[in-house]
Structure 1
Amino acid sequence: MFLIRILFLSLLLVFPVLAQDAPAAGGGSSATSAPNSAAVDDLIRILEDDTSRAALIEQLRQAAPESAAEAPTVQDLSIARQLAEYTRSVAQGASASVRSVGQALGNLQQLFSGSMNADSEALRAFAINIGMLILALFGGFFLLRIAANAIGRGIARGAAGRGPIRRLAGLVVLLLVDAGSIILAWGIGYGLALNFGTTPSGEMGINQSLLLNAFLLVELSKLAVRAVLVPRFPALRLVPVTDGNAAYWSFWLARIISLLGYTFLFVAPMLNGMVSRSAGSAVQVLAMATAVTIGIIVVLQNKDDVRGWLQGISERREHDSLGRILNAIGSQWHVLVIAYLLALLVVWFANPDTALPFMIGATVQSVFAVVIGSLVIGFITRFVTAGLSLPDDVRKRLPLLEGRLKSFVPGVMNVVRWVVIAAVIVAIGQAWALFDFAGWIGSDEGLAVAGSIISAALIILAAIVLHVVVASWVEYRLNTTIGKVPTAREKTLLNLFKNAFTIALVVFGLMLALAQIGVNIAPLLAGAGVVGLAIGFGAQKLVQDIITGIFIQFENIMNEGDVVEAAGRSGVVERLTIRSVTIRDMTGTVHLIPFSSVDQVSNMMRGFSFYVSEVEIAYDSDIEGAKQAMRDAFAIVMENDDYKNVILDDLDLQGLIAITPQSVSLRSRIKTLAGKQWGAGRYYSEVLMRLFAERGIDTPTQKVRYVSSRDSGQSDPDLPLPGPAPA
């Protein structure tokens, strides 16, 4: 920021020097400014007559090409010719500046030589008057500054340890006190000059006015520096600057402002009037060279500090793209600044009237653009870093919306960040006249390009917003804690709709955006048709997947959460797309099955379910007793609160269903809600096995009877064996 103020002050300082020649250029114009009335009358008469006016226009048209050919314009010159003209002007300007120094020394010698003895009395009077004014002006200002500093210490003590509002209020009061001391000292100086520093004719001298105006502008500029750094009162400082840095920069900035301000606003104009313009130019050259030298010394002293500061910013940004740029600038910033200062000095030597104001103005605009861009980028970075937090009620209704926004917003903000960087680069190029962006954007072509880019950006932004809205609506409909609980069919169709809508939105949004920026999308559409046809021939399995998936969805044979069997795999449907189904089996293994591999689907969760229990008992067991045990087991299951609400009907006891030489089979069924048969069935089987054991109903287990060789009439008890009888 201090560079902005210095460059802005330098721009202001050039104008008074340029203004010194204005009176001379305007003098003597009254004698030749009156128009010739006879010529005017003749011109009016010619313009009123159609024939004479047409003849005059024809003569002007014939004379125009000849006059244009006589003087070649800059556009007619080659690049080498233009470069030669510019280097010649630079050399001539530098030579004139060097000659002005020698002429100034000669004029100063003449000023104090015997040839100017006639004006020695006037010179002595001027020295006395200006000396008294300087003494009164700066002496009074010194005393007023002592009083202002005393008041400032009291204000700083009152604001110490307070909040930023109190410190800001204290700083404003301090600045008002300082500004009051400057204006009061300036008023005292004007009063003294009006009463004691007048010329023999009774008027205040122009040099006194130059000094007073220079004092006012310089001290107010130094006050602006103190307002930012506040070197004497750290309690009122708002910017994060250490006391040492605040004192350091205040000291050097005040010296440079005083050097350039008093030189360009007072000393040089005074010498221009009293001695010669060469003397004023010599003083200006000396002041500019001194200021540039001071600037180079300050840059070299702070080379490492600025490099470390920029590298710290890059590390905090984790060396992203902008961080790498800052790191590269930090390694060579001092070289760039020193080269700029030397170029500023050379340009000023060459052409102080036009080149220097342009360079200073371009610098001020560039720094201003960089500062504004840095503030905007800093705000965007802080916004992204702070994150996005939604209200609790919105988070409850849309639990995934915050995460979705956190995934989209950083990307959008990153695009905005690069747009700001591009705008800063364009502003810098416009300031240095590298290209006329303002003129181009105001033309028909520029307006068309800008309109196309903005339209494409709005289409993309609208597509993003529409995607977030639709995804949030689907999420709201699938939220089981809010409103009506969605069915399995709704879950499947809503997820399919979200996926299809996202794909369609991306395709159409991209096509519309390309159409807005001038891309002919007709070949793209034709190419998409050709590609689709090629896919249809070359990827028949993919087409079969999609067609089968569409019919499966139309027939509503399975939905997410159903337990199905497809392509030899059974399990829970976790995900269902238009091309495939994802099934997780009993072991937790996930199977992705394309629909082209599915020839049939078995859904175990439609409407209601049956748990089918088939038990085998020994051939000689009591069948009626076994059937009664099955009824009793079902009654025990119905007494359990966890299962009685899922069972829809009484036990369907089908009885004997098979007879073998070793066993008989009995079957029963339990009707339950869809998908609830397994829990109730497991409990039923457990109870039934316990009742069979209690009532002596045996299962068909292969047995062998062992007969002793010593006593064939006695034998051991029956021994169950797992395998066949031994030989």
Structure 2
Amino acid sequence: MNLTTKMLLPIIWLLCAVPAGMVQAQQSTQTNDNPSYSALADLLENEQSREKLINELRTMADNSAAQTQAVAEETSAASSSSRELAQTTRAIAEGIGEQFTVLANVVNGLVEGEVAGDDQVSMAGLMEATLNLSLVIVATLLAFMLMRRLIGPLLYAKLDGWALQGSNTPVIRRVICVVLAAVVDVVIVGLAYVGGNLVATFLVGETGEQTTQASLFLNAFMVIELLKAGLRMLFSRRYDGLRLLPINASEAAYWNRHMALLIGLLGYGVMVVEPLVSIHISAVLSQGLNTLLMLAAFVYAATVILKNRRRLAGIIRTSAEQSRLATSRISLHLLARTWHLLALGYFVVVLVLVLLSPANALPFVLFATLKTLGIIVVGLLLSTLLGQIMGRRIELSPDIRRKMPLLEARLNSYVPNALRFLRFLVLAGVILLSLNAWKILDLATWYASEAGGMLMGRIIAVAFILAVSAAIWVTLASLIEHKLNPETGTGMPSARTQTLLSLFRSALAVLLVTMTVMIALSELGIDIGPLIAGAGVLGLAIGFGAQKLVQDVITGVFIQIENAMNTGDVVTLGGITGTAEKLSIRSVGIRDLSGTYHIIPFSSVDTVSNYMREFAYHVGEYRVSYRENIDEAITHLQNAFDELVADAEQKPYVLDALEVAGVIALADSSVNIRVRIKTAPGMQWAVGRAYNRLVKMHFEQAGIEIPYPQSTVHFEGSRQGMAPALKLEQAGERHSG
């Protein structure tokens, strides 16, 4: 390679690498006598040197093609991201510097009476255009302010009062009023726009034609005022009922003022001033002015953000402390720490996009920002609406509460979890739609793809399964509760019914949870076959290792099938007698007469003695003295029974006549008579206590002796049974004598 080729190759590379916009800017400032361009033109004009250069380039390409490709493949993957970032940063910096250089040259040319390029400034035309535009601006703004002053307050005040009235769902009322107020704003802006068009068409310039300057302003006025109308929906200064965000009036006025100023600065600057400068002065100056506007807006926004960093963070923390949901508190605390970073990052992104692509970036940023704000506002409204609808306690009718007393509490226990889940869905939707608005994600393409459609289908299927399972549980549990409730019209259920329904409810809960988890995992694409097989093997291992537990369960199942006992029965199990308070599939809990609570596994139960089946007997044995008349004693026992039956409190529990078994024993000191009274199950003890009382009273009235253990002392005497008298004296008398 000769010296000429080595000198020209860097020049050719520079000509191919410099962006078109930068070359165009350089051509406006550089002179046409650059030696590099002259040398290149001379070289290409000479046929021999051109052929020689071509041959040398082809030789270089053939020799280094393989090496260049290998190096490119090794380095492209590792350095592509870094190279792109470096090139982007350099392009931004060079673009800003170039624009400031060109802007300085243009301003210098204006001061000296010249403009770079072929554009020449016509001061007369500029003054005329400025005067005509001023008339249109004054007429449009005057009409706009008059209509807002005269028409707006009347309607706004009525809408504000209606929005603040009490309602079950105040957010819906507020949204309706805010939308109506926004419609009024749009109508006023439209009327002012029409008025400005009439003035621009018939009073300014030639009749029937509208100047470009007036058209630019009117379009900008329409866009900016519509944006401000949307801003007032969030930050209404005067009307609390027409403000969507939950902030006070002073806070709303502060942010409305700064945001409106920023919108006006960028809107009128980009849509009016910049095009007018490009038309009447210089396109290069217009580009520089655009850069200045973007930088000024960024500095202004950054200043406001940093100035309010701590104050707004404190307001967000206060809202976090007032939130009742843990997720909301955590999110708000995180937002309080990072809100300024998010805001600064947003404006940095906007600035970079606008500087990289001024023609396309600003509309994209505007629409993406509006979409994001709309999505966030809708998400906040939905979250608030869900809180107002589901946050209130569910109140059922008195009749339903009477039939199903636990249903209301059960439904209210589900509400907080359902509200958290729905708010999580709203938050996820807001994040995904916001990313889609900024083209970071393409939700439509993703959903149209096979993976996206499959994932959404599975998520919807799982949500449907959970909802159906919850509905089945609520329905069946409510039906069981309805059957167990004695106030449903069917009366008090039997003890067996109560026991079986309680066990069925527990088994239903376990079965429903297991089936729901299995089906949900299957819908998510997880193979549940190994899980079922593993559960079977685990169950077999547990069965071998816990035979006692298996025996408990099997015995308990057969005890329930045979209806051996129910909750509330008085039974004897394992030598313990008491009331069965709790039955499970494995054991029974018994409370004895002294109040001790015993848990007896079914595997240790050989015999169940139940005192509460169908009927019972009070078996009484009554002793009378040998000298009493037995028939007379039996008559008094019958009289006591008749009095017992005559008692209204005891009569319902006595099921049959008195059964007298007769004399069952001639004991050492008494004659024993047995009777039996048939009673309702479980009432034998109460009836027996009442009957014993009456027997004692009747025997006393008849003078029938009820013997008790006693000893007879005999003294030695004659055959006729005469014994000498026993002399007794008190110890005190003997001592005193």
Give the alignment's TM-score, normalised by structure 2.
0.78
Say yes or no: does 1:569 pair with 2:576.
Answer: yes
Change (3 A) 1:76 1:134: farther
Distance apart, 1:330 and its partner CA:
0.7
3-state DSSP class of the match of 2:201? helix
Contact 1:638–1:644 at 8 Å: present in 2 too? yes
Say yes or no: does 1:137 pair with 2:137.
Answer: yes
Query: How many angstroms apart in 1 are the aligned matches of 2:241 and 2:546?
Result: 75
Selected match of 2:697 from 690, 703, 707: 690
> Which amino acid in structure 2 is aligned with residue 686 of structure 1?
R
Contact 1:148–1:177 at 8 Å: present in 2 too? no
Distance apart, 1:386 and its partner CA:
1.0
> Which amino acid in structure 1 is aligned with residue 198 of structure 2?
G
The equivalences for 1:87-106 within 5 A come to 87-106=86-105
The equivalences for 1:521-560 within 5 A come to 521-560=528-567
Change (3 A) 1:405 1:74: farther
Query: How many angstroms apart in 2 are the aligned matches of 1:410 and 1:233?
Result: 33
1:117-167 CA distance string (max 9 Å, x none):
999894323323322431453256336524642444555666786564899
Question: Match of 1:85?
Answer: 84
- More deviation, 331-340/362-371: 362-371
Distance apart, 1:259 and its partner CA:
0.5
The equivalences for 1:416-427 within 5 A come to 416-427=422-433
The equivalences for 1:193-204 within 5 A come to 193-195=200-202, 197-198=204-205, 204=210
Change (3 A) 1:449 1:715: farther
Query: How many angstroms apart in 2 are the aligned matches of 1:85 and 1:211?
Result: 39
Question: Match of 1:295?
Answer: 301
Question: Match of 2:502?
Answer: 495
3-state DSSP class of the match of 1:674? coil
Contact 2:196–2:218 at 8 Å: present in 1 too? yes
Contact 1:460–1:510 at 8 Å: present in 2 too? no
- More deviation, 587-596/321-330: 587-596
Say yes or no: does 1:411 pair with 2:453.
Answer: no
Question: Match of 1:207?
Answer: 213
> Which amino acid in structure 2 is aligned with residue 96 of structure 1?
G
Distance apart, 1:273 and its partner CA:
2.2
Selected match of 2:678 from 656, 671, 675: 671
3-state DSSP class of the match of 2:237? coil
Question: Match of 1:344?
Answer: 350
Query: How many angstroms apart in 2 are the aligned matches of 1:615 and 1:667?
Result: 6
The equivalences for 1:317-716 within 5 A come to 317-318=323-324, 320-354=326-360, 361-485=367-491, 486-703=493-710, 713=725
Query: How many angstroms apart in 1 are the aligned matches of 2:192 and 2:376?
Result: 37
Contact 1:145–1:181 at 8 Å: present in 2 too? no
Say yes or no: does 1:263 pair with 2:275.
Answer: no
3-state DSSP class of the match of 2:486? coil
> Which amino acid in structure 1 is aligned with residue 525 of structure 2?
G
Higher relative contact order (CA 8 A, sep 6+): 1
3-state DSSP class of the match of 2:310? helix
Query: How many angstroms apart in 1 are the aligned matches of 2:119 and 2:435?
Result: 53
Contact 1:492–1:576 at 8 Å: present in 2 too? yes
3-state DSSP class of the match of 1:641? coil
The answer for unaligned runs of 5 or more in structure 1 is: 1-65, 718-727
Change (3 A) 1:119 1:268: closer
Change (3 A) 1:703 1:352: same
3-state DSSP class of the match of 2:621? strand
Distance apart, 1:396 and its partner CA:
2.1
Query: How many angstroms apart in 2 are the aligned matches of 1:489 and 1:574?
Result: 13
3-state DSSP class of the match of 2:337? helix
1:670-719 CA distance string (max 9 Å, x none):
111222222222211122222333333444344578999xx9736789xx
Contact 1:141–1:181 at 8 Å: present in 2 too? no
The equivalences for 1:63-82 within 5 A come to 77-82=76-81
Identity %: 34
Query: How many angstroms apart in 2 are the aligned matches of 1:589 and 1:285?
Result: 88
3-state DSSP class of the match of 1:675? coil
The equivalences for 1:302-321 within 5 A come to 302-318=308-324, 320-321=326-327
Contact 1:657–1:665 at 8 Å: present in 2 too? yes
Contact 2:182–2:233 at 8 Å: present in 1 too? yes
Query: How many angstroms apart in 2 are the aligned matches of 1:327 and 1:111?
Result: 54
Change (3 A) 1:472 1:85: same
Say yes or no: does 1:224 pair with 2:230.
Answer: yes
- More deviation, 160-169/553-562: 160-169
Contact 1:707–1:714 at 8 Å: present in 2 too? no
Distance apart, 1:596 and its partner CA:
0.2
Distance apart, 1:195 and its partner CA:
4.1
Change (3 A) 1:236 1:492: closer
> Which amino acid in structure 1 is aligned with residue 80 of structure 2?
R
Task: State how many pairs are aligned.
Answer: 647
3-state DSSP class of the match of 1:481? helix
Give the alignment's TM-score, normalised by structure 1.
0.79
> Which amino acid in structure 2 is aligned with residue 105 of structure 1?
A
Query: How many angstroms apart in 2 are the aligned matches of 1:169 and 1:362?
Result: 25
Contact 2:572–2:608 at 8 Å: present in 1 too? yes
3-state DSSP class of the match of 1:386? coil
Question: Match of 1:62?
Answer: none
Contact 1:548–1:596 at 8 Å: present in 2 too? yes
> Which amino acid in structure 1 is aligned with residue 130 of structure 2?
I
Change (3 A) 1:536 1:175: closer
3-state DSSP class of the match of 1:613? strand
- More deviation, 335-344/180-189: 180-189
Contact 1:74–1:82 at 8 Å: present in 2 too? no
3-state DSSP class of the match of 2:396? coil
Query: How many angstroms apart in 2 are the aligned matches of 1:144 and 1:363?
Result: 26
Query: How many angstroms apart in 1 are the aligned matches of 2:533 and 2:222?
Result: 74
Change (3 A) 1:257 1:604: same
The answer for unaligned runs of 5 or more in structure 2 is: 1-64, 166-172, 716-722, 730-737
> Which amino acid in structure 2 is aligned with residue 329 of structure 1?
L
Contact 1:705–1:715 at 8 Å: present in 2 too? no
Query: How many angstroms apart in 2 are the aligned matches of 1:234 and 1:422?
Result: 29
Query: How many angstroms apart in 1 are the aligned matches of 2:499 and 2:244?
Result: 58
Change (3 A) 1:627 1:149: same
Contact 1:129–1:196 at 8 Å: present in 2 too? no
Query: How many angstroms apart in 2 are the aligned matches of 1:324 and 1:172?
Result: 32
> Which amino acid in structure 2 is aligned with residue 517 of structure 1?
L
> Which amino acid in structure 2 is aligned with residue 424 of structure 1?
V
Change (3 A) 1:167 1:382: closer
1:199-253 CA distance string (max 9 Å, x none):
7x99543223212222232233223333554435568667654332233223222
Change (3 A) 1:689 1:313: farther
Distance apart, 1:171 and its partner CA:
7.5
The equivalences for 1:266-285 within 5 A come to 266-285=272-291
Question: Match of 1:48?
Answer: none
Question: Match of 2:149?
Answer: 149
- More deviation, 176-185/504-513: 176-185
Contact 1:107–1:279 at 8 Å: present in 2 too? yes
Query: How many angstroms apart in 2 are the aligned matches of 1:484 and 1:125?
Result: 98
Change (3 A) 1:95 1:275: farther
Change (3 A) 1:462 1:625: same
Distance apart, 1:116 and its partner CA:
7.2
Say yes or no: does 1:253 pair with 2:259.
Answer: yes
